[in-house]
Structure 1
Amino acid sequence: MQWVDEAEKQWDNRADSWHSSSRGMWETGSRKDIIPFLKKYLPDESAICDLGCGDGYASVKLARMGHHVTGIDLSEQMLEKASVLAVGSSVQFIKADISEVPLEPNSLDAVMAINSLEWTESPLKVLFEIKRIVKKDGLACIAILGPTAMPRINSFRRLYGEKVICNTMMPWEFEKLAEENGFKKIAEMGVYKREAEKLPVENLPLELRQSLSFMWVFMFKIK
């Protein structure tokens, strides 16, 4: 199995269903607080790359806020939908593997990667690529699915010896990986299911908050 080819095929097949729900995710659903979180740290008119941009909804949203946005995705079907959404905006979309981004070194102020590193063969390689394309002291907003999102459904078949294309990680595992490789955490945010939101999660230790999360969003500074 060629990881990149299989990932492209799977996301091409999911493009229609993803596109039908992406607006809801970004406006009122699980991703609604990500761009406001990012904007707290992102200077005006920043150059930012959306790694694993999917149908481009967030990329276009950032561009309409005045940022210079490049969206990268493997899926041709996703990018076709993104090009329609982007009409009238300045977003540039590129078909590529986020492990090998066709951008110049130190050319960006920031990157955003929302639930995309799990779908790469080597998340560590993506971190090295982020360090290459982002300026020193630039930003990386990276979200990893949490335990209650049950991303294991995408990797469960490995227990039968089958090849899968999902690198399941816990938020605390990814945090350690990033911090050991030149990323300094400056902020973080948990996203929870409705049932967990009823609990006093803010009063719990960090590891328990991460354990209850649907998604964990990190803000790193590139050392």
Structure 2
Amino acid sequence: MSFNWHKEAEKQWNERSTFWNANSQNMWDSGSRKTIIPLVKQHVKKGHSIADLGCGDGYGSYKLAQAGYQVTGLDLSEEMIELAKSRLAHETLHFVQGDLVQLPFEGESFDAIMAINCLEWVEVPYQGLEEMKRVLKPGGKLCIGVLGPTAKPRVNSYPRVYGEEVICNTMMPWELEQLGLENGWKLNDGHGVFKREAEGMDISALPRELQQALTFMWVFIFEKE
């Protein structure tokens, strides 16, 4: 049987759901994702509708709902979605299973999108970004994070050097930035997330590409033009 990237990604993330569930709250509350909800709040009005794409076990979606947004969490993994539904009940939050390149939503359905570390797991990132644009209202905001070159999850793409099939692409932050600017997005804001060894270093004088080269993750705020 031929390799199907997205079916394999669904299988692997189902298998990782328990591990992810054990670590997600810490990531969002005090770890690598702690700056993301505050960034969203700077750019998206309270009460607006937000799609959390690649939501995993839904803890980030839950934090958005707590912050006053109408939230729909979506993930490729059925196991992740079941975990989210079983533990994160909230009146302004619901979860659906779906593929980032074939979103089960009507066009211009959401005021904003949050998509953290999900385009890395799509075979053709352009297709995922186009789907985000399709379901976002004109002028809507996209908060999107992509793994930087120092991120350990990138080891998932390493077997490609032996010609093996993988489910993690090698897109870098500067590539996502260029992809967005070439395809109908305006860049409004962004910041880097760094490993402990780089925290506290003054890199403000470096060009953004070099800052991004040190990152675990870079988070962008794009606007649909």
Q: TM-score, normalised by structure 2?
A: 0.96
1:182 pairs, out of 184, 195, 200, with: 184
Q: Distance in 1 between matches of 2:137 and 2:92?
A: 22
What is the deviation of 1:157? 0.6
Report the identity percentage.
52
- 1:23 alignment partner AA: Q
1:53 pairs, out of 55, 58, 65, with: 55
What is the deviation of 1:152? 3.3
What is the deviation of 1:137? 0.7
Q: Distance in 2 between matches of 1:64 and 1:29?
A: 19
Q: Distance in 2 between matches of 1:150 and 1:179?
A: 27
Contact map agreement 1:64 1:89 (CA 8 A) in 2: no
Match of 1:132 in 2: 134
What is the deviation of 1:83? 0.6
- 1:130 alignment partner AA: M
Contiguous gaps of at least 5 residues in structure 1 = none
What is the deviation of 1:86? 2.0
Q: TM-score, normalised by structure 1?
A: 0.97
What is the deviation of 1:78? 0.6
1:30 pairs, out of 27, 32, 37, with: 32
Q: Distance in 1 between matches of 2:153 and 2:10?
A: 18
Contact map agreement 1:151 1:168 (CA 8 A) in 2: no
Q: Distance in 2 between matches of 1:51 and 1:199?
A: 32
Count of residue correspondences: 223
- 1:7 alignment partner AA: A
Q: CA RMSD in A?
A: 1.0
Matched, 1:169 2:163: no
Contact map agreement 2:73 2:93 (CA 8 A) in 1: yes
Q: Distance in 2 between matches of 1:179 and 1:24?
A: 33
Q: Which moved more, 1:64-73 or 1:108-117?
A: 64-73
SS in 1 for 2:89: coil
Q: Deviations over 1:139-192 (max 9, x none)?
A: 011100001114431111111111111111110011101110011100001001
Matches within 5 A, 1:90-169: 90-169=92-171
- 1:56 alignment partner AA: G
Q: Distance in 2 between matches of 1:152 and 1:26?
A: 20
Contact map agreement 1:60 1:89 (CA 8 A) in 2: no
